[in-house]
Structure 1
Amino acid sequence: MTTWNELPAHLVSKIRSDSVTAPANLPGAEPKLKYGNSITEVDGIRFDSEKEADYYWDLHWLMREGTVKEVELQPKFVLQPGYKREGKKIRPIIYKADFKVTEAGGHVYYVDTKGMKTPVYLLKKKMLLYRYPDIDFREV
């Protein structure tokens, strides 16, 4: 089997770069992530970024010292329920925070670790804070 790097020059020049799957995205290759973050694993849990993994590690230590009672990963909030229109199902709009943290005293807060604040994230955050006005939401 010929790999991408072994293609003859006359064939490479005929391939449109936007019409094929890039070699990095082929099965078995490490995926190249959109914003340059790297998937990181801690305690057998895969995190979308090193920043998120580091924050989990900090929470882990807070749990060991007793400041934090419980940590839930990826809690979901329904921002707009799904519905049907003209016979088609329209999916709900869901926001997933990175962490739900319950402190030893019972206070609950939600954390999102962000390296890049995309327009979609900013819109969902605005919807979240409108729909759940009493939520303690924190960005790191």
Structure 2
Amino acid sequence: MTTWNELPAHLVSKIRSDSVTAPANLPGAVPALKYGNAITEVDGIRFDSRKEAKYYEDLLWQQRTGAVKSIELQPEFVLQPGYEVAGKKIRPIIYKADFKVTEADGHIYYVDTKGMRTQVYMIKKKMLLYRYPDIDFREV
């Protein structure tokens, strides 16, 4: 039996794309992620990448040793508040870091694990550091 991926090019061109369910959209299929990251689960928590999950495991280890007091996932920063123009509501611009880490001595820092630095990320990072100049922000 021939699968969709094995069809000759002359037949593929004759298939209407709106009449066929793509293999990635079939039940049980795992969709390919845009930047090649892999959803990874640690302690029942889903992370957007293996790198983020590994960093979380490292933070848990540091928490067990007493170097880290607390770990908060996905802390949010309002970069620009929402507003209304001519009756139309404009949503706020929000930046979500991956982690907020409180060390044993009370020092707080924020971490973003990055595999791909997109233009949107670069702009939001710039806005974050402008709006909150005193935070300790770390990119790994």
Deviations 1:30-69 (CA, angstroms, capped at 9, x unpaired): 1211000000000000000000000000000000000000
Deviations 1:74-133 (CA, angstroms, capped at 9, x unpaired): 000000011111211111100000000000000000000000100000000000000000
Report the identity percentage: 83
Q: Is this contact kept in 2: 1:25–1:32, CA < 8 A? A: no
Q: Name the TM-score, length of structure 2 as normaliser.
A: 0.87
Aligned to 2:76: 76
Aligned to 2:45: 45
Q: Distance in 1 between matches of 2:37 and 2:122?
A: 19
Aligned to 1:28: 28
What count of residue pairs does the alignment treat as equivalent?
138
Moved more, 78-87 or 128-137: 78-87
Aligned to 2:61: 61
Q: Is this contact kept in 2: 1:81–1:92, CA < 8 A? A: yes
Q: Distance in 1 between matches of 2:58 and 2:36?
A: 23
Q: Distance in 1 between matches of 2:81 and 2:62?
A: 35
Q: 3-state SS of the aligned residue for 2:135?
A: coil
Aligned to 1:14: 14
CA separation of 1:21 and 1:70: change in aligned 2, threshold 3 A: farther
Q: Name the TM-score, length of structure 1 as normaliser.
A: 0.87
Alignment gaps of 5+ in structure 2: none
Q: 3-state SS of the aligned residue for 1:116?
A: coil
Aligned to 1:122: 122
Moved more, 11-20 or 31-40: 11-20
Alignment gaps of 5+ in structure 1: none
**C-alpha displacement of 1:24:** 1.2
Q: 3-state SS of the aligned residue for 1:35?
A: coil
CA separation of 1:139 and 1:89: change in aligned 2, threshold 3 A: same
Quick one: which amino acid aligns to residue 137 of structure 1? F
CA separation of 1:78 and 1:117: change in aligned 2, threshold 3 A: same
Q: Distance in 1 between matches of 2:82 and 2:45?
A: 30
Aligned to 2:92: 92
Q: Distance in 2 between matches of 1:121 and 1:19?
A: 36
Q: Distance in 1 between matches of 2:125 and 2:21?
A: 33
Quick one: which amino acid aligns to residue 57 of structure 2? W
Quick one: which amino acid aligns to residue 70 of structure 2? E
